[in-house]
Amino acid sequence: MLPKFDFHVHTIYSDGESAAAAMVEAAEARGLMAVAITDHGPELSVGISPHKIVPMLQDVTAAREDAEIPVLAGIEANVVDADGAIDVDERLIDRFDIIIMGIHRLRIFSREPSELARAYFHAIMKAMEHQRADVLAHPFQLHRYLAPYLSREDIAAFAESAAKRGVAIELNSKYRVPDQGLLEACLREGVKLSIGTDAHTVAEVGRVDWPMAMLKRVGASQEDLILDRFLRR
Ligand SMILES: [Zn+2]
Ligand SMILES: [Zn+2]
């Protein structure tokens, strides 16, 4: 059986309801192997204030000392422009154990899904090229799921780039993305897979039924998971 973990959890430093220690306790109670605290980056209106990043890292360190499972200090960075820049100060980047990045906004005015999908694709390709990121959060989910509007060639190019840059893709419980086709394209290229509930409450931490079922369906093995990269440190 594959190990359960949750590398996408919010706390009171962004729009979560609880402190890191409570989220970690909930993760342990659910039998997870590891958990990552990943509050929203500052660019989002509900994101962490830049001056709160250091106190947040200290809170995670304190929660880790009381924990029986590995607790990673992370952030859900925003991709903020078409060149793929993210909203994490370069001087702080090495203080995070894990960086998950997500697109929550695109600076184009179209409502046309195929145009949004192309813009998303280009922004994420640039971001993977230029940034240190470990995981792509809720891949191709932006108000709706955009991967079906991309060509097979785009999906293949995305998977190839993610594999080359060492960026894992997240199976996100909240949005139930990505779909099986995208997952299989990624697995064929050797892209690592992460699991994230996108929990904002203690009740949501470790609710990984959907990701675990998807992993089973696509025949993923433990070597396909990003987990080992962090357990070995
Ligand atoms: Zn997000
Ligand atoms: Zn999130």
Model confidence band, residue 111 (pLDDT cutoffs 50, 70, 90):
confident
233 has a pLDDT exceeding 60: no
Find the 163 Cα to ligand 2 centroid distance in Å.
Answer: 23
Find the 189 Cα to ligand 2 centroid distance in Å.
Answer: 26
Find the 6 Cα to ligand 1 centroid distance in Å.
Answer: 14
Q: Which is the CATH superfamily of the domain at 6-231?
A: Metal-dependent hydrolases (3.20.20.140)
Find the 95 Cα to ligand 2 centroid distance in Å.
Answer: 19
What pLDDT score was predicted for residue 232? 61
The ligand whose atoms approach the alpha carbon of 136 most closely is 1
Element (H or E) spanning 74, and its range?
Answer: strand 71-78
Q: Which is higher by pLDDT, 90 or 163?
A: 163
Cα dihedral value 229, 173, 21, 97, nearest 10: 30
203 has a pLDDT exceeding 90: yes
Residue bearing tokens 């106190």: 55
**Taking the complete model, does pTM exceed 0.95, yes or no?**
yes
Closest of 137, 135, 134, 128 to residue 160, by C-alpha: 128
Of all residues in the chain, the percent with pLDDT exceeding 90 is 91
